[in-house]
Copies of this chain bind each other. A is one copy, B any other.
Amino acid sequence: MDFTGLSAFALTPLLDDRLDEAAYVRLIENLRVAGVDSIGALGSTGCYPYFSRTERANALRLATEHSGAIPVIAGVGALRTRDVLWLAEDAQKAGVSAVLLAPVSYHALTEDEVFDLFEAVTRELSVPLCVYDNPATTHFSFSDGLIARIAQLPNIGSIKIPPVSAELAPQRVAKLRAEIPAHIRLGISGDASAVDGLSAGCAIWYSVTGGLFPQAALAISRAAMAGDMALARAHSAALQPLWDLFKRYGGSLRVIATAAELLGAVAEPCLPPPVQTLKGAARRDVAEVIETLRLVV
């Protein structure tokens, strides 16, 4: 697959603490119909590490069955290398086009341990891998040197980098580009940073917002991919109240999951406890922003 455009990361909704298959299929079909460039299944937004191996295999099978021609990128992260290898095998059997791997940790990992993990996994893959750098959840920060080493491994297709400020994005992307082979695509995450990342040379936006509101995200992505950064910025600026919610409520997950509940796209509660969607005033804030921005699933 080609790592470009909008990669839309779906929630993995629950119903009575089990995978809500019907709601999940609706979310995936919504992304197919909208025409996103790829679908991220079981990313952080999809709460991948909270699910069992069987649950994850089921979700991925549903995703590939309902995504049509749109490639599916599957999160295969886990604490233990053995489990990552099993999950990568399951994902490939489910027909995904790529896998996404973050160095999930409980005991903090060293650079060599993370390198060995990526080496062990890429050795077994027949689809490309996206290196998932998400220090907010993994508590591991990739050095540029480690990314450069991992980029030399086989089957590396993309590097998903964390949010970066508008000022630092050009320098950050240029520096990484200089250290990795040309065929590896850089991707930006952190939806509020998307245009900054794409302007700076990222080829793909790994998007949380796009997983629920593909039209709103596609407006930004298509403008940026067409080179009209002013229009992309205008579309992104229009969503500033949403980006503000992400910041106010500890990230995008709870806001997007709450929005999905409020809009009836998923049952309530849709997240795996102990993680919960927002309540009270926070929930009303989300409802207000959805209405103001006229966001539709």
Which residues of A approach B to under 8 Å, CB–CB? 17, 44, 47, 49-50, 79-82, 103-104, 106-110, 112-114, 116-117, 120, 136-137, 139, 250-251, 253, 272-276
Determine if A273 and B110 form an interchain contact, defined as CB atoms under 8 angstroms apart: no
* A107 close to B276 (CB less than 8 A): no
Residue of B nearest to A79 (CB): B50
- Number of copies of this chain in the oligomer? 2
Contact B107 A251 (CB under 8 A): yes
Known A139-B139, A274-B114: A49·B82 in contact at CB below 8 Å: no
Task: Report Cα–Cα, A35/B79, bound state, in Å.
Answer: 33
Task: Answer whether A116 and B273 are a contact pair too, CB < 8 Å, given A106-B137, A107-B137, A107-B251.
Answer: yes
Expressed in whole angstroms, the Cα–Cα distance for A104 and B103 within the complex equals 16
Which one, B107, B117, B275, contacts A107 given CB within 8 A?
B275
10 closest cross-chain pairs (CB), A and B: A81-B273, A117-B274, A113-B274, A50-B80, A49-B106, A80-B272, A81-B274, A50-B79, A106-B137, A107-B275
Decide: B274 and A44 in contact? CB cutoff 8 A: no
- The residues of B that contact A109 with a CB separation of less than 8 Å are 274-275
A79 touches B117 (CB 8 A): no
When distances are taken between beta carbons in the complex, the residues of chain B under 8 Å from A250 are: 108, 110
B112, A44: Cβ atoms under 8 Å?
Answer: no
Which of B82, B103, B110, B274 contacts A17, CB < 8 Å? B82
When chains A and B are docked, how far (Å) is the Cα of A80 from the Cα of B49?
Answer: 9
**Which chain B residue shows the least CB distance to A45?**
B107
Closest to A116 in B: B274
13 A-B pairs within 8 Å (CB atoms) are namely: A44-B106, A50-B80, A80-B272, A80-B273, A81-B272, A82-B272, A103-B274, A108-B137, A108-B250, A113-B273, A113-B274, A114-B274, A139-B139
For the complex formed, measure the closest distance between the CB of A14 and the CB atoms of chain B, giving whole angstroms: 10
- Find the B residue at minimum CB distance from A109: B274
Chain B residues positioned under 8 Å from A275 (CB to CB): 107, 109, 113
In the complex, residue of chain B having the shortest beta-carbon distance to the beta carbon of A138: B106
Given contacts A17-B82, A82-B17, A139-B139, contact A276 B116 (CB under 8 A): yes
Q: A49-B106, A80-B50, A107-B137 are in contact. Are A273 and B117 (CB under 8 A)?
A: yes
Q: Which of A49, A116, A120 has the most chain B CB atoms closer than 10 A to its own CB?
A: A49
Instruction: Give chain B residues whose Cβ lies under 8 Å from the Cβ of A103.
Output: 274
Q: Could you tell me the distance between the alpha carbons of A273 and B83 in the complex, rounded to whole angstroms?
A: 10
